[in-house]
């Protein structure tokens, strides 16, 4: 659906992101965000700081309002075109925040009639729970979105502003067994919790297990893509990115700001240091120091 937003509203919303504003935003109307090939006069355009010829891009854009970095000058050409430059330290972050605020369709809070909710579940304010979701005796923070067919077990304590996409299973029993003298497998107790921080996003059909005797912990602002598995007792820090089809065995410590690329596998009982990067398809079998990039099978440090 096309919007009708005054640019001055966007400027007011982005006040903490903007260094300066050049031109007059008062009468300009923004209707949409668009890719570069379809920009028109009603687009809130933006220029990636890594692009060459940023000045030329700004001067030839059809948009009246453009988010730029400080390298783009409010030239006579831009002034004569009646354009407005919104100068930001991080134009992509500014466009993301404005886009989510003004141009993304928001889910209306509420509980779908087909959802199954435990009477003692603690559900915060402005929460959406979708069709056929199963919500056991858990805690769900304010402003969270729980999509269709999600199962959240009683072991889960989830913070505010979380999003859980369709088919995810959170807080089920982990895969832990012990053999008797005859080699027969018996389940080890899985009685810990799953703590999920604030502003966490969990992808479709992802499974995150509760702890065994300790807890599984997912830190604030973590983003977990579709079809991932995170086993019991993992301790995952803040702002960790776990992309699609990652498999994380139990009892790892993954520190803040780690990036894990698609199809990576992490063995278990491993520490991955702050800001480390794990490459596509890597099989991690030993600790990874902070800030390093490891690739391959078995994973090894990528020398620069």
| pTM (2 d.p.) | 0.93
Tell me how far apart the alpha carbons of residues 192 and 105 are, in angstroms, rounded to a whole number.
37
The tens digit of pLDDT for each residue in 263-279 reads: 999 999 999 999 999 99
Last residue of a domain, one of 102, 133, 163: 102
**Residue 36's domain spans which residues?**
5-102
Domain of 39: which CATH number? 3.40.1390.10
Specify if 287 maps to a domain.
Answer: no
Last residue of a domain, one of 73, 102, 131: 102
* pLDDT surpasses 90 at 175: yes
The reply to whether 147 and 210 lie within a common domain is yes
Number of Cβ within 10 Å of residue 79's Cβ equals 12
The tens digit of pLDDT for each residue in 120-174 reads: 999 999 999 999 999 999 999 999 999 999 999 999 999 999 999 999 999 999 9
* pLDDT surpasses 70 at 32: yes
The reply to whether 151 and 81 lie within a common domain is no
The reply to whether 223 and 158 lie within a common domain is yes
- Catalytic residue ranges: 232
The reply to whether 56 and 130 lie within a common domain is no
Question: Residue 282 has what pLDDT?
Answer: 98
Specify if 242 maps to a domain.
Answer: yes
The tens digit of pLDDT for each residue in 65-106 reads: 999 999 999 999 999 999 999 999 999 999 999 999 999 999
Residue for token pair 């889910």: 107
Tell me how far apart the alpha carbons of residues 117 and 136 are, in angstroms, rounded to a whole number.
6
Assigned token pair, 252: 């790892």
Positive or negative: CA dihedral 47, 50, 51, 54: positive
Tell me how far apart the alpha carbons of residues 109 and 144 are, in angstroms, rounded to a whole number.
9
Question: Residue 304 has what pLDDT?
Answer: 73
Specify if 241 maps to a domain.
Answer: yes
Banded model confidence at residue 2, pLDDT cuts 50, 70, 90: confident
- CB-based burial of residue 95 (10 Å sphere; 0-12 exposed, 13-18 middle, 19+ buried)? buried
Closest CA to 188 of 209, 162, 161: 209
């Amino acid at each position: 659906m096309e919007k009708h937003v005054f640019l001055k509203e966007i400027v007011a919303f982005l006040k903490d992101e903007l260094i300066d504003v050049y031109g007059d935003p008062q009468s300009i109307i923004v209707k949409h965000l668009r890719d570069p090939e379809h920009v028109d006069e009603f687009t809130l355009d933006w220029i990636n700081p890594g692009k060459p010829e940023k000045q030329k891009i700004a001067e030839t854009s059809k948009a009246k309002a453009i988010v730029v970095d400080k390298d783009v000058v409010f030239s006579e050409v831009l002034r004569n075109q009646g354009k407005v430059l919104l100068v930001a330290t991080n134009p992509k972050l500014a466009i993301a925040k404005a886009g989510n605020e003004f141009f993304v369709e928001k889910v209306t809070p509420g509980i779908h009639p087909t959802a199954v909710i435990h009477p003692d579940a603690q559900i915060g304010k402005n929460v959406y729970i979708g069709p056929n979701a199963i919500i056991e005796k858990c805690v769900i923070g304010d402003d969270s979105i729980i999509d269709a067919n999600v199962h959240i077990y009683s072991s889960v304590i989830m913070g505010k502003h979380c999003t859980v996409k369709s088919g995810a299973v959170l807080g089920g029993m982990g895969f832990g067994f012990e053999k008797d003298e005859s080699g027969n497998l018996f389940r080890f107790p899985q009685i810990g919790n799953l703590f999920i921080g604030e502003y966490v996003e969990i992808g479709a059909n992802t499974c995150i297990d509760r702890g065994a005797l300790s807890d599984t912990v997912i830190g604030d602002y973590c983003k977990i893509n579709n079809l991932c598995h995170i086993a019991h007792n993992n301790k995952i820090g803040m702002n960790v990115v776990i992309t699609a089809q990652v498999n994380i065995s139990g009892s790892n410590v993954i520190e803040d700001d780690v990036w894990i690329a698609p199809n990576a596998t992490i063995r278990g009982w491993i520490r991955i240091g702050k800001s480390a990067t794990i490459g596509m398809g890597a099989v991690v079998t030993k600790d990874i120091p902070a800030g390093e990039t490891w690739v391959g099978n078995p994973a090894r440090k990528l020398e620069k």
